[in-house]
């Protein structure tokens, strides 16, 4: 029987919800491109309920305990005395989320002698030291595509919020003011702007598709080029590298995984090549940009705005400069954890566990590391090292 250690974010400060704003979720059975949404044999939760916090338990307790497994759920993940560190040494399976990552460092993986499977209830397994997972024969899987559209919607929202100066204008309304000039002195139309994405995978391409009707000029860079038909349909301009692309753009959105090639990509040098007054949106991973270089670029006007929902570390400390820098639209790491996304990543986690316990292969598209090597989706999009 397995011990499953699950690290989730805290419940709402007012307590676990007794009711919800809406009664149901739209039924979505496949993603763009045809991949089906998760197909577990059963679920023990109500889609649309809060599943990603501690009391939501990803809807896994009944399923695991009925099969004789042990489930430990905690949000306490930092430091030697944390519940996570205390429970890890004899855990067989760790489940964590990018929003509240239990960092599976090489030291922790070495200490977790029984660990065989690390599941990311979401997308982005960079909180797991993939090299160490490979060395120790730990399988790593994530729920590929579960929240890609959720994030793409957040990117589009952030672009519009920054360009239109929405958040400061909303604040004027909340605070009882009516000075139109205060609101519009930094407000523009997105129409006609040059918008580029670093990476055009599931999220990047979904962002491009959603922005095309805004009559913008679309650019992208990626390790692999999109099919010509897609480039023509959306009128895309391909660039060999981020360095080639960003000087042309009014808006840049980052949608690449964090790995050695992308870590620190947006430092002073690359930011210095951007148009004065460009906007940068990063919902991918914080360490793809240099924290202090972004702060400087906002203060000296190189960037007119920065938004996203990814920080390092997470949770971000109260004095993190991105909380107080000017012209930002930051949120905590929420874009991929809407109630809609939670229903998919809870179901996907269950699907992965059902496969694992039954000795069936985990879907190729969910695999990041397996059999001592990058595997499945991971072999395509991740690199190891650094
Ligand atoms: P995909 O794997 O579909 O797409 C990633 C794309 O990045 C691929 O097309 C890949 O290229 C490309 N890429 C990798 N390295 C580079 C590079 N050095 N330069 C340019 N392109 C590169 O992933 P998703 O679109 O689903 O997600 C992207 C990232 O977004 C995730 O890795 C995760 O970190 C983050 N994310 C954030 C969430 C949030 O809540 N904020 C939720 C979900 C994801 P190719 O495959 O062609 O080699």
> 287 CB less than 6 Å from ligand 1?
no
Note if 333 is an active site residue: yes
Ranges assigned E (strand) in the chain: 3-7, 70-74, 93-96, 117-120, 139-142, 194-198, 217-221, 236-238, 251-254, 278-282, 303-308, 328-330, 367-370, 373-374
The pLDDT value recorded for residue 79 is 78
The pLDDT value recorded for residue 386 is 46
Whether residue 243 has pLDDT greater than 50: yes
Please name the residues in contact with 310: beta carbons below 8 A apart, sequence gap of 6 or more: 282, 283, 284, 285, 286, 333
Active-site entry in 108, 154, 219, 285: 285
Give the domain ranges of the chain. 3-146+337-375, 148-330
Please name the residues in contact with 27: beta carbons below 8 A apart, sequence gap of 6 or more: none
Predicted confidence (pLDDT) per residue in 61-113, tens digit:
999 999 999 999 999 999 779 999 999 999 999 999 999 999 999 999 999 99
- Evaluate whether 3-146+337-375 and 148-330 have a shared fold: yes
The pLDDT value recorded for residue 382 is 82
Query: Between these two residues, 258 and 91, which has the higher pLDDT value?
Result: 91
366 Cα to the center of ligand 1, angstroms:
14
* Long-range Cβ contacts of 204-207 (<8 Å, 24+ apart): 204/253, 204/255, 204/256, 205/32, 205/230, 206/32, 206/148, 206/149, 206/152, 207/152, 207/155, 207/156, 207/253, 207/255
> 101 CB less than 6 Å from ligand 1?
no
Which of 213, 211, 178 has its CA nearest to residue 197? 211
The mean pLDDT of 261-266, rounded to a whole number, is: 96
Distance CA 350, CA 358 (A): 12
Whether residue 193 has pLDDT greater than 60: yes
pLDDT band at 129 (very low <50, low <70, confident <90, very high): very high
Predicted confidence (pLDDT) per residue in 301-359, tens digit:
999 999 999 999 989 999 999 999 999 999 999 999 999 999 999 999 999 999 999 99
Whether residue 34 has pLDDT greater than 90: yes
Distance CA 26, CA 62 (A): 25
> 224 CB less than 6 Å from ligand 1?
yes
Q: What CATH number was assigned to the domain covering residues 3-146+337-375?
A: 3.40.50.720
> 338 CB less than 6 Å from ligand 1?
no
Note if 147 is an active site residue: yes
386 Cα to the center of ligand 1, angstroms:
18
> 152 CB less than 6 Å from ligand 1?
no
CA 139, chain centre distance (Å): 20
The pLDDT value recorded for residue 110 is 97
Ligand 1 atom having least distance to the Cα of 285: 34
Rounded to a whole number, what is the distance in angstroms from the first to the last CA of the chain? 36
- With tokens 């979401």, the residue in question is 122
> 125 CB less than 6 Å from ligand 1?
no
The topology under which CATH files domain 148-330 is: Rossmann fold (3.40.50)
The pLDDT value recorded for residue 379 is 87
The pLDDT value recorded for residue 385 is 66
CA 268, chain centre distance (Å): 24
Ligand 1 atom having least distance to the Cα of 258: 34
> 201 CB less than 6 Å from ligand 1?
yes
Residue closest by Cα to atom 1 of ligand 1: 201
Active-site entry in 108, 127, 302, 333: 333
Whether residue 43 has pLDDT greater than 90: yes
201 Cα to the center of ligand 1, angstroms:
6
381 Cα to the center of ligand 1, angstroms:
7
Distance CA 275, CA 285 (A): 23
Which of 258, 248, 146, 157 has its CA nearest to residue 197? 248
Residue closest by Cα to atom 39 of ligand 1: 336
Residue closest by Cα to atom 33 of ligand 1: 124
Ligand 1 atom having least distance to the Cα of 224: 47
Whether residue 279 has pLDDT greater than 50: yes
Active-site entry in 147, 165, 194, 255: 147
Q: For all residues of the chain together, what is the average pLDDT?
A: 97
Predicted confidence (pLDDT) per residue in 135-184, tens digit:
999 999 999 999 999 999 999 999 999 999 999 999 999 999 999 999 99
Residue closest by Cα to atom 5 of ligand 1: 201
Note if 314 is an active site residue: yes
Whether residue 245 has pLDDT greater than 90: yes
Please, are residues 315 and 334 in contact by the beta-carbon 8 Å criterion?
A: no
Burial of residue 58 (number of CB atoms within 10 Å: 0-12, 13-18, 19+): buried
Dig out the tokens for 340 from the structure: 């809609």
> 139 CB less than 6 Å from ligand 1?
no
Active-site entry in 97, 194, 255, 314: 314
> 204 CB less than 6 Å from ligand 1?
yes
55 Cα to the center of ligand 1, angstroms:
30
Residue closest by Cα to atom 36 of ligand 1: 284
């Amino acid at each position: 029987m397995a011990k499953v250690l699950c690290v989730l974010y805290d419940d709402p400060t007012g307590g676990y919800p007794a009711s919800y704003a809406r009664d149901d979720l739209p039924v979505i059975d496949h993603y763009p491109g045809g991949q089906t949404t998760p197909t577990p044999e059963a679920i023990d939760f109500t889609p649309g309920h809060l599943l990603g916090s501690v009391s939501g338990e990803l809807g896994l307790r009944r399923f695991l305990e009925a099969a004789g497994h042990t489930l430990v759920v905690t949000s306490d993940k930092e430091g030697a005395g944390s519940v996570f560190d205390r429970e890890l040494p004899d855990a067989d399976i760790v489940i964590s989320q990018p929003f509240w990552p239990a960092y599976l460092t090489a030291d922790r993986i070495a200490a977790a002698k029984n660990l065989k499977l690390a599941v990311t209830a979401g997308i982005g397994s960079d909180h797991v030291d993939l090299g160490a997972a490979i060395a120790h024969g730990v399988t790593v899987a994530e729920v590929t595509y579960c929240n890609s559209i959720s994030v793409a919607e957040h990117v589009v929202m952030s672009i519009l919020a920054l360009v239109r100066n929405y958040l400061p204008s909303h604040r004027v309304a909340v605070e009882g003011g009516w000075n139109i000039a205060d609101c519009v002195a930094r407000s523009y139309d997105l129409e006609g702007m040059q918008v580029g994405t670093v990476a055009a995978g599931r999220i990047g391409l979904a962002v491009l598709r959603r922005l095309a009707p805004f009559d913008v000029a679309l650019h992208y860079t990626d390790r692999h080029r999109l099919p010509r038909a897609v480039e023509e349909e959306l009128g895309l301009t391909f660039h060999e590298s981020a360095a080639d692309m960003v000087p042309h753009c009014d808006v840049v959105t980052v949608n690449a995984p964090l790995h050695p090639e992308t870590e620190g990509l947006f430092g002073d040098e690359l930011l210095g090549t951007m148009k004065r007054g460009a906007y940068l949106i990063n919902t991918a991973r914080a360490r793809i940009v240099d924290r202090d270089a972004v702060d400087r670029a906002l203060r000296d006007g190189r960037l007119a705005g920065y938004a996203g929902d990814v920080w390092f570390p997470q949770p971000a400390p109260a004095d993190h400069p991105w909380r107080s820098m000017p012209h930002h639209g930051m949120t905590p790491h929420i874009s991929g954890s809407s109630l809609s996304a939670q229903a998919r990543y809870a179901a996907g986690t269950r699907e992965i566990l059902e496969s694992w316990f039954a000795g069936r292969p985990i879907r190729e598209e969910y695999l990041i590391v397996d059999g001592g090597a990058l595997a499945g989706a991971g072999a395509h999009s991740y690199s190891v090292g650094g």
